[in-house]
Structure 1
């Protein structure tokens, strides 16, 4: 007789919230949580794309909920967390991934105030707002784990005229480490991922003229000389949320193929 497969996933009975989950890293993380048994809150601005992610989660046998959210708006974020708790009764994990690229190939003195404020609002203020409302929900449940999405440009300067984005991600690193110190003793672990260049809507080498640019970037930033895949980052995210990372708090984990130190 063949034994029945009783595997239900390491997050069975848990609830995960992922912002920016309509595509890319956020979508991959949402699907990974679902495969491991979690119920998933898909938070994003784009309804049609998010609905497809919800459908995929349901096809995997889990439950999902889409909440339209602009993370730069406090009322949206408060509603996002309240809706998650009202629907599923708890919040165990959060991935604060939503963000924008902002101006590229633009020297810092040429960045407009509106551009600066938009990037900081989504990428830095948005992460703070998410934690502001996620943490009380987790405390009410006895604890949890948060993963903020920074960038390799949160650990070093941008080399592509990408100052606002780089500054915002440095801010996410500092915010993560500070929050981890505040709440580690309260059974909430807070860590960050620093992805390298990873295939997504934002990093699409199939666009005209883009392949050569991204090849140059991976030569500079990945010792593996390739772009990453969203699933590779999702694996790191869910590991940080899992019990196997139970003593990991306040770290910023690069997922970038290794830094480049070679001379050839």
Structure 2
């Protein structure tokens, strides 16, 4: 009898987080969704449950607050008593990319509290729960011919950005994402020996409500501004990615099919970072 898998997804009300939740639900994984946006998050959980026939619960959570993260992880156990996967998608970004004079200390601290400190706390408490769990057998097909893959306790994927690998400006966001790469690598080192894998996806330019809000029609496919954008000229695929395309990668990094991946920073940017930088 197969174990009912449970995934925790932060930042799940929209964008990449919601796309990840939908993708995992399509794999019949039960979900515990969190976001600071209560109405959108609750609606996302209801929609996903009805569409995919899985259990999906929502908890309004501010990942800048340690006590709320602790409660989030504790309540995620209400489904099965386990936490098999965690996708940390919550994040914020400023709209000013080309200078840092206008970035205030308060804003820098707010970005840090969510993108860096919040990510670290999520990883820390998710891993603490996974450490308490009995390892689960790894299942994928075709099976290895001679040797079995050791069981694992869980998998965590942190959503960073190519801004964690290269500077695109963004005086608060870029440092927060560079720090997130170190959090991910430390997580892989700390928890890998106990059967918990920690990896990161590094999306490039992606169509989401956040990019549309910050960039306007430049981030909306089909508009004149998007079609003549200089950003697309720097991407080998000549387009922004979709949230669903990012979700496919994150789903893979959480799945048993990536059972030997740990500490990886996987770029998914249509051919931008590795070609022009």
TM-score normalised by structure 1 residue count: 0.89
- 1:187 matched to 2:195: yes
Select the residue among 156, 160, 163 that pairs with 1:146.
Answer: 156
Map of 2:148 onto structure 1? none
Map of 2:168 onto structure 1? 158
Q: Tell me how far apart the structure 1 counterparts of residues 47 and 35 of structure 2 sit (CA, whole Å).
A: 16
Helix, strand or coil: the match of 2:77?
helix
Stretch deviating more after TM superposition (65-74 or 251-260) = 251-260
Map of 1:127 onto structure 2? 119
Which consecutive aligned stretches of 4+ in structure 1 deviate over 4 angstroms post-superposition? Answer: 208-211
| Conserved 8 A contact 2:92-2:115 | yes
Aligned-pair CA distance for 1:93: 0.4
Stretch deviating more after TM superposition (131-140 or 205-214) = 205-214
| Conserved 8 A contact 1:103-1:111 | no
The answer for unaligned runs of 5 or more in structure 2 is 136-152
Aligned-pair CA distance for 1:106: 5.3
Map of 1:254 onto structure 2? 267
Change (3 A) 1:240 1:110: same
Stretch deviating more after TM superposition (51-60 or 247-256) = 51-60
Q: Tell me how far apart the structure 2 counterparts of residues 243 and 147 of structure 1 sit (CA, whole Å).
A: 13
- 1:198 matched to 2:198: no
Q: Tell me how far apart the structure 1 counterparts of residues 162 and 232 of structure 2 sit (CA, whole Å).
A: 12
- 1:50 matched to 2:41: yes
Q: Tell me how far apart the structure 1 counterparts of residues 250 and 216 of structure 2 sit (CA, whole Å).
A: 28
TM-score normalised by structure 2 residue count: 0.85
Aligned-pair CA distance for 1:109: 3.5
Aligned length in residues: 250
Aligned-pair CA distance for 1:102: 2.4
Q: Tell me how far apart the structure 1 counterparts of residues 118 and 236 of structure 2 sit (CA, whole Å).
A: 32
| Conserved 8 A contact 1:103-1:115 | no
Select the residue among 82, 85, 104 that pairs with 2:74.
Answer: 82
- 1:105 matched to 2:97: yes
| Conserved 8 A contact 1:25-1:97 | yes
Q: Tell me how far apart the structure 2 counterparts of residues 230 and 12 of structure 1 sit (CA, whole Å).
A: 28
Helix, strand or coil: the match of 2:210?
coil
Q: Please report the RMSD computed on the Cα atoms of aligned residues, expressed in angstroms.
A: 2.1
| Conserved 8 A contact 1:44-1:67 | yes
| Matches for 1:202-213 after TM superposition, within 5 Å | 202-204=210-212, 207=216, 212=225
Map of 1:219 onto structure 2? 233
Aligned-pair CA distance for 1:64: 0.6
Aligned-pair CA distance for 1:192: 0.2
| Matches for 1:52-67 after TM superposition, within 5 Å | 52-59=43-50, 60-67=52-59
- CA distances 1:220-246 after superposition (whole Å, capped 9, x unpaired): 3x2111010111111100101111111
